[in-house]
Structure formats: C-alpha cells, structure tokens
Amino acid sequence: MARADAAVGDIAINPIPVMPPEDSSPSTEDRIREAIARPHNMGEMTDADAVGTVGSPECGDMVRMWLKFREKDGQKLIDRASFQSFGCQTAIAVASVATELLAGKTLDEAMAMDATALSRPLGPLPPMKIHCGQMVEGALREALEAEKGTPAAAPSAPGNAGDTLIGSFAAAQAPLKQGGRIRVVKHENS
C-alpha cells in the first residue's frame, strides 16, 4: 500500500498538512464599519406618509424613521424608508440595512420584523449593541402604528423631562405630518 510518508531512497517524504480554508467573510464589526462609512437612505423624507421617533434616556440617542407607502394589488406596501440617527454609529448601521430590507414589505411583514431581523445583514450584534437595533425597531413600530392609527406602547410627550437631547430635539422640530411624538425606549437590561 502507498504511504504518503514513505521513504524514497534516503529522503523521507512527509505529507503536506492540509489547512482548513480561512473564513474570509467579513465580521459583524467590518459590516458595521462599512454601513457607517456608506449609509443608505439616511436623511429626512419630506414626502413621507408616516414617521416614528424613539429616544433612549440611558444612552441619550434618538432614531427617527420615515416611511413612504404605495399600493400594489390592493395591498399597502412600504415603497421606501429613510432614517436619521442622533448619536449612535451602530444605530446608523442597523437603520441603513433595515431601510433596505423594508422596501417592498407589507405593513404586517414590517411589523413582524424585530431588531434581529432588521440587523441580520450585519450579523449578530454584540450584546452591548443589541439596544441600538431595538431603537431602530422602535422607530419602525412607531411609524407603522402611526400609519395604522393604533396607539403605540408607552408613548411620551415630546420634550420628555430628564432627557435634554430628546427635549431639545423635540423643541427644534417642526410639527410632524404624522406620529409627531417621541417614544422613550428603555434599555431592556436596565
């Protein structure tokens, strides 16, 4: 039987170790960096049909999402989505990929998307950053609930006391077409 390490004359031939292929797919950190460097759909949508805003007293960040709808086969779909994030880079990355994912979704399909689904193209978020995805989810839900006319959970008035960023942001904003309120999102682990 042939042996890979058989000696040929006085020369021993050792088998060449086969290395497992390196995983060349980008890490979550790489994808977040890329999304931050080239965010998609960032900025106010002046002809939006719905808008949702959330703020976090814990981190002081805010995320706002605008949605534009269209009808297709008697169903309302999200035609496009845009966002602004005030303060948090990871929220920018999640919102960027989320707004891409939302195009073409029905309202029910969009409502079923949680932070994990909205951030999936980035890979699993580090535990400390899961909250950033939940902020994007919260802004989306606020906009969808405003469109459906259903009351959002635990809404708070603009200018929530104790959060100067939220207060100053609300004061600086012109009245919104819809969903003109800011929902305060608490960190789940706080």
Give the whole-angstrom CA distance, residue 31 versus residue 93. 8
Q: Is 53 in the site for ligand FES (CB under 6 A)?
A: no
Structure tokens that stand for 50 in this block: 């719905």
Q: Is 91 in the site for ligand FES (CB under 6 A)?
A: yes
Q: Is 182 in the site for ligand FES (CB under 6 A)?
A: no
Site mask for ligand FES (CB under 6 A), range 132-161, x = bound: x--x--------------------------
Structure tokens that stand for 45 in this block: 């949508």
Q: Is 131 in the site for ligand FES (CB under 6 A)?
A: yes
- Nearest CB to ligand FES, comparing residues 137 and 147: 137
Q: Among 109, 103, 101, 105, which residue's Cα sits nearest to residue 80? A: 103
Q: Is 41 in the site for ligand FES (CB under 6 A)?
A: no
The interface region with ligand FES, picked from 18-26, 83-91, 113-121, 152-160 by CB under 6 A, is 83-91
Task: Give catalytic residues, as residue numbers.
Answer: 59, 132
What contacts 91, CB < 8 A, 6 or more positions away? Answer: 61, 63, 85, 132, 133, 135, 136
- Nearest CB to ligand FES, comparing residues 88 and 97: 88
> Quick one: which of 61, 137, 142, 147 contacts ligand FES (CB under 6 A)?
61
* Residue 106 Cβ vs ligand FES, minimum distance, rounded to whole Å: 27
What contacts 85, CB < 8 A, 6 or more positions away? Answer: 42, 61, 62, 63, 64, 91, 92, 95, 135
Burial of 74 (0-12, 13-18, 19+ CB in 10 A): exposed
Residues that bind ligand FES (CB under 6 A): 56, 59, 61, 88, 90-91, 131-132, 135
